[in-house]
Structure 1
Amino acid sequence: MFTGLNGRAPEPGRWQDDALRTLRRRLVDPQDTLAAYVTDKPDVPGELAACVIGVIEYRLGGPLNPSGVIGYVFNAVTDPGYRRRGYARACMEGLLSWYHQRGVTLVELKASEAGEPLYRALGFVPMPSQTMRLTINSGATASRG
């Protein structure tokens, strides 16, 4: 279910235990800044057909978002055998309602090619992106040059 954005399934590893530990901690956090919406496979209860996870972040306000409060959907997955059945839509609608109830007026995500039609149908619009990433290794120093 994690093959959408880069086309490859990740190797199993410690990251799974770390992610589960973080998810369990964040879901019961009284600050209520993370939500997960899931749909089980109708023929295999307890196994996910679709899941979306989003967070509320607090940034400095600006002209397009004076409050600085933003929703970010960082995980939206559907089992390939259960696509085109409305499961991801139901999960996304639940998450968007959760954001609305908390006063979030701006939500962002990175769309896979397969997910883009759903997000457009929900009102998301493409944005120019110059996203860059830096991985800081534990042995790296903050000083460069």
Structure 2
Amino acid sequence: MLHTRALVADDLELICRHRYEMFREAGREPAVLDRMTPAFRTWLQPRLVDGTYFGFITLDGDTPVAGIGLMEIDWPPHPLHPEQDRRGYVLNVYVEPSHRQRGIARMLMDRAEAAFSERGLPYAILHATQMGRPLYAGLGWTSTTEMAKAVHAPPRA
């Protein structure tokens, strides 16, 4: 039986594994993901503890089968939210292959919208993989004009 609960600090390794698999399935190189994951774990741990990274895990019995991460991010007022200085941010949406096409990701996105609404966040963003785009578009999410570039800087000490 499927049930969903809020993330807790003990979900650290599960979230890291879901993030790794999400990027791997999107075509990212394992060597890059092997470097990213320890840095992500270090970044995530205090945010899980203090609640600045929150979200949900769906379980089938006692087995985690899906998850979603959420954040509230500081953002200047913008034409899409002219009086709001924060946005919701959705990340790390992942459903185990054995449980896909059952509406779990859609349910997690509904939970995300409710969590943002409870926090007074009327606008949210996400970065979609090709696999996720149809789901998000079907839920009313639209593409923006965002662009990105890696800026090479010396590593932090």
One-letter amino acid matched to 1:123: G
Identity of aligned residues (%): 26
Identify the structure with the greater helix proportion. 2
**Residue 94 of structure 1 is aligned with which of 96, 111, 116?**
111
In structure 1, which of residues 49, 56, 60 is the aligned counterpart of residue 76 of structure 2?
Answer: 60
Corresponding position of 2:17: none
> Structure 1 pair 16/132, CA: closer, same or farther in 2 (3 Å)?
closer
Q: 1:94 to 1:80 in 2, by over 3 A?
A: same
Question: Cα distance, 1:110 vs. partner?
Answer: 1.2
Distance 1:134 1:80, change over 3 A: farther
Aligned to 2:15: none
Structure 2 unaligned segments of length 5 or more: list them: 1-20
Tell me if 1:36 matches 2:52.
Answer: no
User: Relative to structure 1, is the Cα distance of residues 25 and 121 closer, same or farther in structure 2, using a 3 angstrom cutoff?
Assistant: same
SS at match of 1:125: coil
Question: Unaligned stretches of 5+ in structure 1?
Answer: 141-145
Counterpart of 1:129 in structure 2 is 146
Structure 1 residues 76 and 9 mapped into 2: Cα distance closer, same or farther (>3 Å)? farther
Which one-letter code corresponds to 1:28 in the other structure? V
Task: Give, as a single letter, the amino acid of the residue that structure 1 aligns with 2:53.
Answer: L
The TM-score, its normalising length taken from structure 2, stands at 0.71
Paired position in structure 2 for 1:8: 28
TM-score for the superposition, normalised by structure 1: 0.76
Larger Rg: 1
Matched, 1:138 2:155: yes
Alignment size in residue pairs: 134
C-alpha change, 1:54 and 1:4, in structure 2 (3 Å) is: farther
Question: Is the contact between residue 38 and residue 52 of structure 1 (CA under 8 Å) also seen in structure 2?
Answer: yes
CA gap 1:113/1:16 in 2 versus in 1, 3 angstroms:
closer
